[in-house]
Amino acid sequence: MIRIRINDQEIEAVEGQTVLEAARQAGIYIPSLCYSPDLKPYGGCRMCVIEIDKMRGLPTACTTPITEGMVMRTETPALSDARKAILDLLLAEHPLDCVSCVKNERCELQDVARYLGISESRLPRNSRVQAIDDSNPFFTLDRNRCILCARCTRACDEITGNNAIEIVDRGYESRVGTVADRPLVETNCASCGECVAHCPVAAFIPKDYVKPEGPVSTICPYCGVGCSINLEISRGKIVGVSGDLNNPISNGRLCVKGRYGIKEFVHHPDRLTNPLIKRDGEFVESAWDEALEYACSKLYQYRPEEVAVIASAKATNEENYLIQKFARAVLKTNNVDHSARLCHAPTVTGLAAAFGSGAMTNSIGDLKESACFFILGANTSETHPIIGFDIKQAVKNGAKLVVANPVKIPLVRYADVYLQINPGSDVMLLSAMCKIINDEGLLDQEFIDQRTEEFDQFKKSLKKFDLEQAVAVTGVPLEDIRKAARLYASSKPASILYAMGVTQHRHGTDNVSAVANLAMLTGNLGKPGGGVNPLRGQNNVQGACDMGALPDVLPGYQKVSDDQVRARFESAWGVKLPPAPGLSLLEIIDAVDRKQIKALYVVGENLMLSDPDLNHLKKALMKLEFLVVQDIFMNETAELARVVLPSTTFAEKEGTFTNTERRVQRLRKAINPVGYSKPDWWITAQLGKRLCGKGFDFSNSTQIFEEIRSLTPSYAGITYERVQNNGMQWPCPSINHPGTPILHVEAFTRGKGVFKAVKYLPPAESPDTEYPFILTTGRSLYHFHTGTMTRRVRGLKQLQPMETLEIAATDAVGLEIEDNDLVNVSSRRGSVRARARISKRIKPGTIFMTFHFPETATNILTNAVRDPVAKIPELKVAAVKIEKV
């Protein structure tokens, strides 16, 4: 602490603070315009000038660090004159239509003018008319209101790393510009709105700005980063979203979906508002009682092996807990699974075998301590954009970056080494890196000796490993593999981040084992900035797994086959539980197909677009005797149902989500349920009550969470009270435990880490003369999965209106395909149509499609062949042919 004097007031401040920060903390107002707490000090507007004893001139408070004994004044006639002179210049150019301006009463220029007692410039009006950029669907840049504080351009640079805008030209001509003066939508702007959030005036402004009454703090419903958001409410409706500066993950930052992709889907007229029962092929609205009675009367008829339940990674922990409890305690089946099966199932199997826990080892917050990132099979800046921001910042601060991906994703621009590997060849790449590290002595022998086992056998496997074969299979030059290996092994600590490019393969578990080997070989575990970091996808997929929405484990990954575990749950729930593990997601579909499973209860998952081999899936689902779907929209799966139950969205309920770094965070109800929709926990509890009578008598989510705590050791110390503000990371075994930001610090969860020699196996399908291309699939920034939410947001649809098939120029020439041509893509399982986009991003021989659009149902093409351990399908590799229509 340092003692300083401001305006004769003695103040204690933290060393390293600037005068402006110290003054604000002490409640002393110094006017400023270019300052923002999350940006580097700039000193551009000079509004925060002050007088400091023994210092000449008028320094700016935002750039002056405090020193012991500093004495200063913030309000003197000289300061006031200086500030008024600056304001005169600004107001001479700025429109004076405050009363009709949307930013009225929320404008920092207005605040400063009021403080200085000025309402008009003393200088002659300067009426330069500047271009307005309204190309972005969500916001406008009106340069006529701009005061050139550079907060937007600095935010775009320092926070997002996108550098889509900058202050161009000088003096009188200076303005917020883009490369070659192109409209914003044609630049690499990611529509994140950080510029808008930072603009002190109405220059960068949302297009449909409504003044809110007050915010409700909750969690973004899209991806697993788990950004904290403030829902701005007016007259019972969401009118805007802002970031939460106090959240340790997002620190106020948001991506386009979180900031602009929420209010329209929540309030969309397509929302399901009443229960529906299908009669003579048509859905008829019904009352809750009738729909629930009907569903129960049907579900009641089936034996345990004839029913299955699909839980939801979009729903809360409390809801997933009840869904699996309903399956196990009421329907007496362990046939319960969810989209994690299509996602990080190999992470759970692979990392649990290697380390004893299948979760992300480190925290988002400690990425800034990494000296090197190895990102493979993940498109982080589009799928986990806030983590993408962190990585770009770290790289700017000197961290190294290695990217392995068949597609030149946006992060490649920042990479030291880019490995454009063939889809499905990761085991080869990772083993080659391990061999090079071992041969060159770059391994961490001490870590290996003390913390791991089975190294000798792994080392032996490396001896036999053929680097030339790795080059042939991966399609990456040996020199590049060597560079990547050296960079990763010699920059400490180094962090591996991976996602679907690694897991969605027939040998996904082997890929994950190979990742674990690489991290153990270099000792990159159990320390800040290191780790093996599987980026979990859905907002609550981590939580749905934690809650036991899986066929083999109860909450907290406690095995259903373990008699003692079952005994504990049986006594708590007062029922007998089935001991044999149930069927996984695609095994359930197989059982439906062979008419073993006759009834299915699906909560918040759109199988009919997200599962592989959709033609086969549809045939199977048509054989069901009874299908209940519980969703917020009538999706492609619900259309096949007999009963559809309308759920509320995240914005209409209480509960918790667990993000990718195991942080349990609090969801808060911001608006009343739309129509007669009900929270998922209420619906499942009603079904449970009617069918079982006991164990479902909950009147709020808190009561459910208390039951979860009592049965889940890793959540035992977590309470709503404790996660009120910033959440807590499990394991948290007791009420005094602080939570666990980094796993495996002293020892691995399983004791020692275990190496596993993995053999490369090719994907199930390779290109041949009939199907000469490899289709790989994934996501784009602007849409989420099957698009039920994002396709209902006009701006997101405008930014990406339809599916595009990305194809390399050399391949397109061979097929006489030009940009935007309609093409037919076929695999052994079916065909779809899409527009072609000739792309410099994609490796020749490979094409890329998303699965966001029902009119181009990409999963008609994909292969349901699956990993024998994790049971994940090979969504990332299918052989296809392409014909111009």
Residues interacting with Mo ion, by CB under 5 A?
343, 537
Bond prior to 731 in cis (omega within 30° of 0): yes
Q: Examine residue 610 and tell whether it contacts ligand MGD (CB under 6 A).
A: yes
Residues 6+ apart with CB under 8 A from 776: 406, 407, 423, 501, 846, 847, 848, 876, 877
From the list ligand SF4, Mo ion, ligand MGD, none, partner contacted by residue 194 (C-beta under 5 to 8 A by kind)? ligand SF4
Instruction: Determine if 455 is a binding residue for ligand MGD (CB under 6 A).
Output: no
Which amino acid, 793?
A: V
Distance CA 671, CA 266 (A): 10
Site string for ligand SF4, 160-179 (x = CB under 6 A): x-x-xx----------x---
Contact with ligand SF4 (CB under 6 A) among 20, 79, 203, 512: 203
CB-nearer residue toward ligand SF4: 191 or 558: 191
Structure tokens belonging to residue 814 = 């061979």
Euclidean distance between CA atoms 752 and 356, whole angstroms: 9
Q: Which of the listed partners (Mo ion, ligand SF4, ligand MGD, none) does 374 bind, with a CB threshold of 5 to 8 Å by partner kind?
A: none
**Do 485 and 462 meet the contact criterion of CB atoms below 8 Å apart?**
no
Q: Quick one: which of 109, 327, 364, 378 contacts ligand MGD (CB under 6 A)?
A: 378
Neighbours of 717 (CB within 10 A): 19
Q: Does 374 bind ligand MGD (CB under 6 A)?
A: no
Environment class of 427 (CB within 10 Å of its CB; exposed 0-12, middle 13-18, buried 19+): buried
Considering the complex, what minimum distance in angstroms separates the CB of residue 537 from Mo ion?
A: 3
Segment interacting with ligand SF4 (CB under 6 A) among 198-206, 622-630, 649-657, 666-674 = 198-206
How far apart CA 338 and CA 340 sit, in angstroms, is 6
Handedness of CA 321, 323, 328, 333 (dihedral sign): negative
Contacts of 882 (CB under 8 A, 6+ apart): 773, 805, 807, 815, 817, 823, 824, 825, 836, 847
**Cβ proximity to ligand MGD, 528 vs 778, nearer residue:** 778
The residue from 108, 631, 661, 806 that contacts ligand MGD (CB under 6 A) is: 631
* Spatial CA neighbour of 870 closest among 351, 227, 321, 484: 351
Q: In this structure, are residues 304 and 332 in contact, taking their beta carbons and an 8 Å threshold? A: yes
Residue 247 interacts with ligand MGD (CB under 6 A): yes or no: no
Cβ distance to Mo ion smaller for residue 62 or 343:
343
Q: What is the spatial distance between Cα 739 and Cα 737, in angstroms, rounded to a whole number?
A: 6
**Residue 410 in contact with ligand MGD, rule: CB under 6 A:** no
Neighbouring C-alpha atoms within 13 Å toward the C-beta of 619: 9
Q: Which of Mo ion, ligand SF4, ligand MGD, none sits in contact with 630, Cβ below 5 to 8 A by type?
A: ligand MGD
Give the per-residue contact string, 235-254, with ligand SF4 (x = CB under 6 A; - = no). Answer: ---------------x---x
| Cβ partners under 8 Å of residue 175, min gap 6 | 130, 143, 146, 148, 167, 168, 169
State yes or no: residue 198 binds ligand SF4 (CB under 6 A). yes
Exposure class string for 469-506: b at 16+ Cβ within 10 A, else e: ebbebbbbeeebbbbbbbbbbebbbbbbbbbbbbbbbb
Return the residue of 4, 47, 52, 227 that touches ligand SF4, per CB under 6 A: 227
Binding-site partner at residue 461 among ligand MGD, ligand SF4, Mo ion, none, CB < 5 to 8 Å by type: none
Contact in structure between 260 and 276 (CB atoms under 8 Å): no
Contacts with ligand MGD by CB under 6 A: the residue count is 58
- Where in 275-304 is the site for ligand SF4 (CB under 6 A)? none
Q: Which is nearer to ligand MGD, 74 or 858 (CB)?
A: 858
Q: Which two tokens stand for residue 857?
A: 């149902």
Among Mo ion, ligand MGD, ligand SF4, none, the one that 199 touches (CB under a kind-dependent 5 to 8 A) is ligand SF4
Contact residue for ligand MGD among 324, 786, 800, 804 (CB under 6 A) = 786
Of the candidates 424, 493, 582, 717, which one interacts with ligand MGD according to CB under 6 A?
424
Asked if 422 contacts 776 with a C-beta cutoff of 8 angstroms, the reply is no
- Residues ≥6 apart with Cβ < 8 Å to 289: none
Q: What are phi and psi of 344, to 5 degrees?
A: -110, 25
- Asked if residue 777 lies in contact with residue 850, where contact means CB atoms within 8 angstroms, the answer is yes
* Footprint of ligand SF4 on 119-148 (CB under 6 A): 146-148
In the complex, what is the shortest distance from the CB of residue 799 to ligand SF4, in angstroms, rounded to a whole number?
11
**Is residue 193 near ligand SF4 by the rule CB under 6 A?**
yes
160 binds, options Mo ion, ligand MGD, ligand SF4, none, Cβ within 5 to 8 A by partner type = ligand SF4
- Which of 373-381, 452-460, 549-557, 736-744 is the region at the interface with ligand MGD (rule: CB under 6 A)? 373-381
The contacts found for 364-367 with CB under 8 angstroms, 24 or more apart, are 364/225, 364/249, 364/390, 364/660, 364/661, 365/248, 365/249, 365/741, 366/528, 366/529, 366/741, 366/742, 367/391, 367/394, 367/495, 367/529
Rounded least distance, CB 743 to ligand MGD, Å: 20
Among 218, 517, 777, 804, indicate the residue that binds ligand MGD (CB under 6 A). 777
Residues at the site binding ligand SF4, with contacts judged by CB under 6 A = 146-152, 155-156, 160, 162, 164-165, 176, 189-195, 198-201, 203-204, 220, 222-223, 225-227, 250, 254-255, 257-258, 384-386
Contacts with ligand MGD, residue ranges (CB under 6 A): 223, 312, 314-315, 339, 342-343, 376-379, 382-383, 404-407, 409, 421, 423-424, 426, 499-501, 504, 537-538, 603-606, 610, 630-633, 635, 647, 649-650, 680, 776-779, 781, 783-786, 788, 851, 858-859, 862, 875-876
